[in-house]
């Protein structure tokens, strides 16, 4: 392993700073070119595998693909990380790359929520073009998941990084379980080395960008006969054509997938139609709703709107509870029951949800919570395990325990669906104290949202 704080013997201009990623076959370091004072990334095979019988094959594969990548890099493809240098240090091949400043798409979705369809398509098309060049030169990336896609600061350019040279290298940004959800089963068994591997991984990445969820892992589909949950079931706003393109890219058997990036991308919807779809289905209704703040019972939502506009999430959460209870005239009881939810005015429910969705940029809202719950396999029937999983997903549970209200995160950085909390009828005190009641309440609201076409 390269030692932090030390200059390399073959390239003394590089000082190793720290390890930034380690997988089964490779190690990635952040280093600094001390003469020019700029950061770089250096990748090497993992020397801990030196006793493995196949280690020489891994190293030779790394050398071969490293040289090919360096050759591709000479053409300066805008979406492939630039290779600066390639050399050997103590018989260990070292690939030196640009340090791309920005946020990877996995963390971006975790922090800020899912992308609009048009934006997601744009990002994935950039990566698909980069992969096409790699495939033409005999390189299969094997690891083109969102953790290895960097959105460059101050631009809409996405850079593909961290090639899985001579093997599959996990990213530090994605835990092992999530990483498996991006890989086709034949890659795990090293049965196939074709462009269809990258088609599957990129389709799984697109699934994640527009839903915030990873697709059903292929091994569960292969071994346990689990069904693939279609992305449109999680995010009903994506177009049918994109839904079909993602599903086709996620075909379990490689022979059934598109065999090239060009073939797969041809299945995408036209971005002009996608933009129209989003403007009509999202922006226009929200703007109309903002101006009119419709209510079938004469409820005034101005205060809720002002709280949300200014990012006062806690006050907005408390105001949401107040107005929802007032709409069904249960001020005396102070909470919502199933019957009142089943008869909740659609007009008012739509206004409340639209306000939350609009001012959180799609991260919070009753419809967001409904989508998250359905994405976990939730149905109209209460299931304690799924309710607990939902609590984990939206951040209402930590370390297996339900939070108290004072521990809720009233910040846009909170997990997707974290707010509103009181809006679903949660009591003060421990969330889990009435978890059965609350689960039924959430299911009732989800059902009412469906009935109201929200």
pLDDT digits (tens, 9 = 90+) for 216-226: 888 888 888 88
**pLDDT for 210:** 92
**pLDDT for 22:** 75
For the residues 232-255, what does the mean pLDDT come to?
Answer: 91
Q: Is residue 397 within 8 Å of 369, Cβ to Cβ?
A: no
Most confident of 29-33, 177-181, 424-428: 29-33
112-126, 239-253, 299-313, 416-430: lowest mean pLDDT where? 416-430
pLDDT digits (tens, 9 = 90+) for 37-92: 889 999 888 777 777 787 788 788 788 777 877 777 777 788 988 888 888 888 88
The yes-or-no verdict on residue 290 having pLDDT over 50 is: no
Count CB neighbours of 388 within 10 A.
Answer: 18
Sign of CA dihedral 333, 335, 341, 346: positive
Q: How confident is the model at residue 327 (pLDDT cuts 50, 70, 90)?
A: very high
The yes-or-no verdict on residue 168 having pLDDT over 60 is: no
For the residues 98-119, what does the mean pLDDT come to?
Answer: 87
Q: Of residues 356 and 406, which shows the higher confidence score? A: 356
Average pLDDT of the residues of the chain: 80
Q: Please, which contacts does 78-86 make with residues 24 or more away whose CB atoms are closer than 8 Å? A: 78/126, 78/157, 79/126, 79/127, 79/129, 79/130, 79/157, 79/158, 79/159, 79/160, 80/130, 80/133, 80/134, 80/159, 80/160, 81/41, 81/159, 81/160, 81/161, 81/162, 84/40, 85/11
> DSSP 3-state assignment of 95?
strand
Count CB neighbours of 216 within 10 A.
Answer: 18
**pLDDT for 203:** 96
Q: Is residue 247 within 8 Å of 228, Cβ to Cβ?
A: yes
The yes-or-no verdict on residue 106 having pLDDT over 60 is: yes
DSSP labels, 276-338: HHHIIIIIHHHHHHHHH---SS----HHHHHHHHTT-HHHHHHHHHHHHHHHTT-TTTTS--H
For the residues 131-135, what does the mean pLDDT come to?
Answer: 90
Which tokens is 297 given? 């019972």
Q: Of residues 22 and 3, which shows the higher confidence score? A: 3
The yes-or-no verdict on residue 399 having pLDDT over 90 is: no
**pLDDT for 181:** 82
Q: How confident is the model at residue 105 (pLDDT cuts 50, 70, 90)?
A: very high
């Amino acid at each position: 392993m390269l030692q932090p704080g030390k200059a390399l013997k073959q390239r003394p201009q590089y000082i190793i700073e720290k390890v930034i990623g380690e997988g089964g076959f490779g190690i990635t370091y952040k280093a600094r070119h001390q003469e020019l004072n700029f950061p770089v990334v250096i990748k090497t095979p993992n020397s801990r595998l030196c006793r493995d019988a196949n280690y020489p094959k891994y190293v030779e594969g790394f050398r071969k693909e490293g040289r090919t990548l360096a050759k591709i890099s000479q053409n300066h493809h805008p979406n492939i990380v630039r290779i600066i240098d390639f050399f050997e240090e103590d018989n260990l091949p070292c690939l030196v790359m640009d340090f791309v400043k920005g946020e990877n798409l996995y963390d971006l979705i975790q922090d800020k929520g899912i992308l609009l369809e048009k934006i997601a398509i744009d990002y994935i098309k950039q990566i698909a073009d980069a992969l096409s060049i790699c495939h033409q030169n005999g390189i299969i990336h094997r690891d083109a998941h969102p953790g290895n896609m960097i959105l460059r600061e101050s631009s809409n350019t996405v850079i593909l990084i961290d090639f899985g040279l001579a093997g599959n290298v996990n990213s530090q940004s994605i835990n092992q379980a999530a990483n498996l959800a991006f890989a086709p089963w034949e890659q795990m068994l090293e049965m196939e080395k074709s462009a269809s591997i990258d088609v599957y991984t990129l389709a799984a990445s697109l699934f994640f960008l527009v839903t915030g969820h990873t697709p059903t892992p292929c091994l569960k589909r292969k071994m346990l006969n689990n069904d693939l949950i279609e992305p449109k079931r999680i995010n009903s706003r994506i177009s049918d054509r994109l839904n079909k393109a993602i599903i086709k890219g996620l075909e379990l058997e490689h022979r059934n997938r598109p065999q090239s990036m060009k073939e797969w991308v041809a299945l995408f919807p036209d971005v002009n139609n996608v933009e129209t779809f989003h403007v009509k289905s999202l922006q226009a209704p929200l703007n109309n709703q903002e101006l009119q703040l419709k209510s079938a019972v004469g409820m005034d939502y101005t205060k809720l709107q002002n709280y949300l506009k200014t990012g006062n999430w806690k006050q907005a959460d408390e105001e949401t509870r107040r107005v929802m209870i007032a709409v069904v005239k249960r001020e005396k009881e102070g909470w919502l029951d199933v019957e009142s939810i089943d008869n909740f005015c659609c007009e008012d429910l739509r206004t409340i949800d639209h306000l939350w969705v609009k001012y959180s940029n799609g991260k919070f809202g009753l419809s967001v919570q409904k989508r998250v719950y359905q994405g976990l396999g939730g149905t109209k029937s209460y299931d304690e395990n799924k309710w607990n999983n939902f609590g984990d997903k939206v951040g209402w549970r930590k370390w297996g325990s339900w939070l108290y209200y004072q521990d809720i995160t009233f910040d846009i950085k909170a997990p997707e669906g974290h707010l509103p909390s009181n809006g679903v009828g949660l009591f003060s005190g421990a969330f889990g104290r009435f978890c059965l009641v609350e689960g039924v309440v959430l299911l009732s609201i989800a059902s009412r949202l469906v009935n109201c076409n929200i």
